[in-house]
Amino acid sequence: MKKISLFLLLLIPAIAFAQRDWSAMKITTTEVGPGVYRLFVGESVSTVLFVGEDGVMLIDAAYEQTAPQLKAAIEAITSHPVKYLVNTHHHGDHVGGNYNMGKDATIIAHHFVKDFVSREQRAGERVTPALPKEARPDISFSDELKFDFNGQVLQMLHLPKGHTGGDIIIYFPESKVLKMGDLLFADNFPFVDVNNGGDPMGYVRNQQFILENYPEDLTIVGGHGPVYTMAQLREYNKTLVQTLEVVRKAKEAGMTAEQMKANRILKEWEEWGKFFITEDRWIDTLFPVF
């Protein structure tokens, strides 16, 4: 049974999006800071474009299937090609477009991402081939990369054991924008990829690290959901901690995960369970932690 649920968990992104009409997925463009644009792909995943005198940087490439729209949305902002493509982590809705968006660009990511996408992945009977060489990171790093580009020193920082084992955040100090990747599922329970280095406690701690170490006046672009202020991130983090506490106490009181689901112990946050991670899946994520 455990094997089956693990297999299903890995398959869920594929199932959830299998029925999609990819060509109908629109891109919504918003300038979130000077030279920094959020490209919201199909109201699902957020990528970021940074445009200036040195050229164009794209952060995350969304799905393989949405590359044509994403290209068109970029061309509506700039006539210059993407010079650098940065991946916040290895998931398909962030690296899927790497080949189309990044084959002529220099691709940058954490070591974990480079290793992951360079190898064939097996989950049960499902085999995901390695990305083509042109779609893999050219440059990878372990802890931090400072990148002088378009008049500001960008900080690319690895926050370990969060959503995955290879998450990085990208800070634009002059534009006052922070790109968080899937270390933020704004307004929703997060997906934590515990099979690939993610950890719910680390997820919470990484957000707290950001709240303690970055200025208050930032615009935050998560991987999914709406753009946040720091105040909203603080509220989000508090709520996550509350849900952790509810599950921890229920387990301490002797409840099984199935009983927690049947009793809807996270009902108070049911709005958060409507996108991707349901109340039940969030219970399954947290249950083994305590």
Binding site for Zn ion (CB under 5 A): 91, 182
CB-nearer residue toward Zn ion: 89 or 251: 89
Other beta carbons within 10 Å of 182: 26
Minimum distance, C-beta of residue 203 to Zn ion, in the bound complex (Å): 11
CA distance 165 to 115: 11
Minimum distance, C-beta of residue 74 to Zn ion, in the bound complex (Å): 21
CB-nearer residue toward Zn ion: 73 or 192: 192
- Residues 194-226 as b or e (16 or more Cβ within 10 Å = b): bebbbbbebbbbbbebbbeebeeebbbbbbbbe
CB-nearer residue toward Zn ion: 91 or 261: 91
Packing angle between helix 230-252 and helix 200-213, nearest 10 degrees? Answer: 150
Minimum distance, C-beta of residue 89 to Zn ion, in the bound complex (Å): 5
CB-nearer residue toward Zn ion: 38 or 261: 38
Computed over its alpha carbons, how large is the radius of gyration of the chain?
Answer: 19
Minimum distance, C-beta of residue 188 to Zn ion, in the bound complex (Å): 12
CA distance 62 to 194: 21
Per the structure block, which two tokens stand in for 273?
Answer: 């369970």
